[in-house]
Structure 1
């Protein structure tokens, strides 16, 4: 064993060019250990790091003074799927990770006239000066609760999920107790409204009860809460780049990260449908959602299964306009879960929504919407701590359109997890943090790594220590599966397992491991995912599959010209019934890639597959598609992705898919 001492000292803010991190009196002790490098740092605490590949393959985490291992040569490397190794700060995408943050600050963020906690709202008298109110004068504030009324027969179908009803006004001038879940407060001075804000507070509702069947099935079984928190459009590695504090906290607690989690559709809706219902979004038509003008009330969502066995249920998103089941759709006529905050988000965005960045409002009044959602979730965990709880929550306001905005949320997500931990809530909760896909547009999407990242969203599961001990075989299987090909269908199967924990005892897991097939589309993550699983058996369309090997083809090749022409024809066919949309013409073939799809199955005719990226006019849209070439026929494999934002170009159509393609004339 060899020893060496390394000493480094820089003042706060100093940055040696060779070390991309701010250090304050940083001491490092290093030793060669087992062929790797063991680093021990003394910086207010002792940290140990073992770098199997030596320091050249490591990168610095500037927020926690840690060295994080780079991924190995392969992200996953199994018989059925090989995904190349990806590094968060690879040279090809480093320039995108260094861009500055540019998110706007909420209106009057430091000049709020009202403050609140979980029980009260009060006037901040020292801030009255910002609203031209003399210290000796009083203001009058009106507290009004609002809620989602019961559906009535003659309600406008287009507004079925946006119905609002207000209660009476209760005046106060200093403070008031919060007695309702959704509250609007308007403050007046000399008969003029000078301030308005909305407040969302978790309140304990009437208890839910077990059904007779569930009582027989689940008696004497200790249940765990299930808390699913989604962050829109964040790839696994962009989570590393933008939310390192949250990542490190999860790793410290022993969360399992799934490196081969592959999306199965383009945007949020086709990726959450398999997770929440266990079916493809295209199957909804024959199941429960005949068309986009129907509601989702009759769909078999996973939270209904939990409610049937006595759980409180919640579904909440931090925006209304981009709601998963509202964007270009009707949403819900009834209330889908015990706690449903779409009503609050819609009304607050309508009145005090501000800092709209492309598709979403970032703030309501002086509060970030993502922070409103986090506070509400934390409040629910406190209110329902003695009850079983299933919650599905989705953040999109900060992450939907920008690669770097997740940085702004990192501190708050870390604090949120710390609070859950300090309240012992994580001891009784299965916590799932995931995304639907990576960023779908922008310059990074024109790189090979950006294309792969877009298809490989973040996915972490944190299991309580008692679960790991009681269901040790299921836990060990899940750890093995972190380097297997997985999908949202598997998440659904996993959530079903958590309803009946009898399915997870060691003996049952052993038997079940011999009862399923590698060709199954949905496999619980508590069972061993087969090493020979492919995109085909997992029902991942070729366009989204990250297991392919590929090579570039000249853009001026015959294949390139034919593929571009077929794509152009396909797009115009989609737009045929919408005369308000211009016919598109390919003006440039940006990239042409031929994929190695493997050896054809027995009896299958050989074919070639290409991914093509084109630019069209009018509008300069950039599209990416995978096309299969069989003799003289070209067939589209999957849907067509758009790599740049459409903004107002598609304002004349309201179909959630055609907005990607339409250029309004």
Structure 2
């Protein structure tokens, strides 16, 4: 059948319109990148190079978030909702009894009830709690017997979590499940006198609460790129961005360990083995010090399988804080349907994995702000751990939580920290031209309430100065400690037992950091140090010799650690890039003038994993200094390569022999 001329012309016009719209979309995308680049150049260009830190000892370059190699494949993601129905059961805090009440929204079941004749609603719950009588309480939970409940029923004060179920029950006692959900409770167990004393003390000598919010794998650079509205929120008066903040370890554990205990992963080995129960409990976590100072404490982290203190570790034997979300997360990830997105649990039952944690944080704020000094830490992996674009999907919800915390007056009474552990460590962002800095420069924003800035103007002034000084996780530990000792006026005022155990030269950010500070002074190893400018020398004749020497040490390491039966040996495939560090007037100075520091990224066979090593090579002796193979960076994912081994550091470099028939995951 032939089309009429009019119909044909109409379809052609539609086709041309689609082409024009597609081209316009491409032009708008390109225009967006150009505008971003122009904005960056206008606001950040000072001569040829702008620096976050610029001293004779440290030149940390400011990084353009909108380079072509990061923006050309950059796509904003949409939030996918976990449910489209309303909550059948909700909880409400009764301020007269200081207890929670459960509400059953029976009207939601009316459409079903009408089809069932003489049917009724039946709701029940099982209490979830921590099982403190097993060897590893962090790896399990306790579930109590089923209890039915009625509308407006009061929740017993010793209840922390519950899983609820509501059924439609017909005349023959047949039950149909309507909804299954989980509820957490931040119960108020404070004695009245303690609250009264605190309120009185606050009017005379206020004590700041502390609230830490963390997003895994989020550099200060990607925050600007992926969450501009959040960046705008934390750019308001009272916020201080630590632009010279440099990570001290590879992944989450060593960076949070340094921040929360003042210890390094290597240093802890002298005291205990973190893979054995009880080790983590023995460390001086900062929340213990706040608890000793009569603070009410809380800690929550999503994605229980990769939690900071539980991934390939036994976690805590004693509950670490007054309020601790882990038992509920274990229960719901086991009992509810789990949908993965961005690499990890996204929807757990009817809610985002992320929301369980941040709702818990909201409850903690609502319950104790103004009634007790608080120390709270909430941490999320679900959106940002593996996918840097996951932050774009999270942006509007995350901003909503920030504004909700603001409405609860958190920022009026508390020092608030928005931070990350590191930036992205592999794949797209890490492989970009700015990837070296993306990985090593996590976001760190500190908010000081107005009353604190007025009462302690010298501390606020020092913090402002330190925004562009080199700082580290150990300094943040000292900063948190300083909040419990605001009478200390200098580094010398802190006794040795109060200093970060693995960095005695580190200090509070409320005290002015030295202008000429080096990475050694901040407890940052050469491998992670962003202070030295680099020169690309990939095509130099000696680079392949250096790479072969690295690969040889990798193979020797497999043999010496009895891994050669499980892990395939390495052969150099190619050198992708080689940079030589410039030695500044002070800093990491080799004793031998012929010795230089190189950052080399290279591929090996089998499976072409991409590694990066920071090494010292002597051009005169043609010798490579010993390297710790466990400190190598893996710039490509090892998800499908290292399932034969459960050693955390070894997973980075082991290519399991039984994985050779499986493709690597990029």
Please classify the TM superposition score into its range, dividing by the shorter chain length. Answer: 0.7 to 0.9
Match of 1:326 in 2: 310
Q: Is the alpha carbon distance of 1:144 and 1:84 closer, same or farther for their aligned partners in structure 2, counting shifts above 3 Å?
A: same
Could you give the per-residue CA deviations for residues 500-559 of structure 1, whole angstroms, max 9, x where no partner exists? 2222xxxx359869x99xx95311101111111111322311221111211222357333
Partner SS for 1:483: coil
TM-score (norm 2): 0.81
Q: Is the alpha carbon distance of 1:654 and 1:192 closer, same or farther for their aligned partners in structure 2, counting shifts above 3 Å?
A: farther
Aligned residue runs from structure 1 range 378-527, under 5 A = 378-385=362-369, 386-503=371-488, 508=489, 521-527=505-511
Match of 2:43 in 1: 69
Partner SS for 2:72: helix
Partner SS for 2:483: helix
TM superposition shift of 1:599: 5.7
Partner SS for 2:584: coil
TM superposition shift of 1:242: 1.6
Residue 648 of structure 1 pairs with residue 635 of structure 2? no
Residue 246 of structure 1 pairs with residue 230 of structure 2? yes
Match of 1:312 in 2: 296
Q: Distance in 2 between matches of 1:480 and 1:135?
A: 72
Match of 2:84 in 1: 110
Match of 1:146 in 2: 128
Decide whether the 8 Å contact of 2:88 with 2:108 is kept in 1: no
Decide whether the 8 Å contact of 2:609 with 2:634 is kept in 1: yes
Q: Distance in 2 between matches of 1:603 and 1:402?
A: 38
Q: Distance in 1 between matches of 2:112 and 2:352?
A: 20
Match of 1:626 in 2: 614
Q: Point out the more displaced range, 583-592 or 561-570.
A: 561-570
The higher radius of gyration belongs to 2
Partner SS for 1:315: strand
Could you give the per-residue CA deviations for residues 178-224 of structure 1, whole angstroms, max 9, x where no partner exists? 553211123445346564322223222355999xxx9xx99964210
Q: How many residues align?
A: 595
Residue 185 of structure 1 pairs with residue 136 of structure 2? no
Decide whether the 8 Å contact of 2:299 with 2:376 is kept in 1: yes
TM superposition shift of 1:347: 1.5
Q: Is the alpha carbon distance of 1:567 and 1:209 closer, same or farther for their aligned partners in structure 2, counting shifts above 3 Å?
A: farther
Partner SS for 1:296: helix
Q: Is the alpha carbon distance of 1:371 and 1:95 closer, same or farther for their aligned partners in structure 2, counting shifts above 3 Å?
A: same
Decide whether the 8 Å contact of 1:297 with 1:332 is kept in 2: yes
Q: Point out the more displaced range, 175-184 or 417-426.
A: 175-184
Q: Distance in 2 between matches of 1:19 and 1:184?
A: 46
Decide whether the 8 Å contact of 2:113 with 2:119 is kept in 1: no
Q: Distance in 2 between matches of 1:490 and 1:125?
A: 54
Decide whether the 8 Å contact of 1:146 with 1:184 is kept in 2: yes
TM superposition shift of 1:138: 4.0
Q: Distance in 2 between matches of 1:219 and 1:501?
A: 17
Q: Is the alpha carbon distance of 1:314 and 1:207 closer, same or farther for their aligned partners in structure 2, counting shifts above 3 Å?
A: farther
TM superposition shift of 1:76: 2.0
Match of 2:3 in 1: none
Q: Is the alpha carbon distance of 1:111 and 1:248 closer, same or farther for their aligned partners in structure 2, counting shifts above 3 Å?
A: same
Structure 1: which 5+ runs fail to align?
A: 1-13, 23-54, 61-66
Decide whether the 8 Å contact of 1:474 with 1:509 is kept in 2: no
Q: CA-atom RMSD, angstroms?
A: 3.5
Decide whether the 8 Å contact of 2:88 with 2:166 is kept in 1: no
Aligned residue runs from structure 1 range 196-235, under 5 A = 196-206=180-190, 221-235=205-219
Decide whether the 8 Å contact of 2:358 with 2:378 is kept in 1: no
Decide whether the 8 Å contact of 2:573 with 2:604 is kept in 1: yes
TM superposition shift of 1:320: 1.1
Q: Distance in 1 between matches of 2:530 and 2:117?
A: 63
Q: Distance in 1 between matches of 2:203 and 2:76?
A: 54
Structure 2: which 5+ runs fail to align?
A: 1-23, 94-101, 169-173, 659-666
Residue 79 of structure 1 pairs with residue 56 of structure 2? yes
Q: Between Structure 1 and Structure 2, which shows a larger proportion of helix residues?
A: 2
Decide whether the 8 Å contact of 2:238 with 2:450 is kept in 1: no
Q: Distance in 1 between matches of 2:30 and 2:409?
A: 36
Q: Point out the more displaced range, 595-604 or 463-472.
A: 595-604
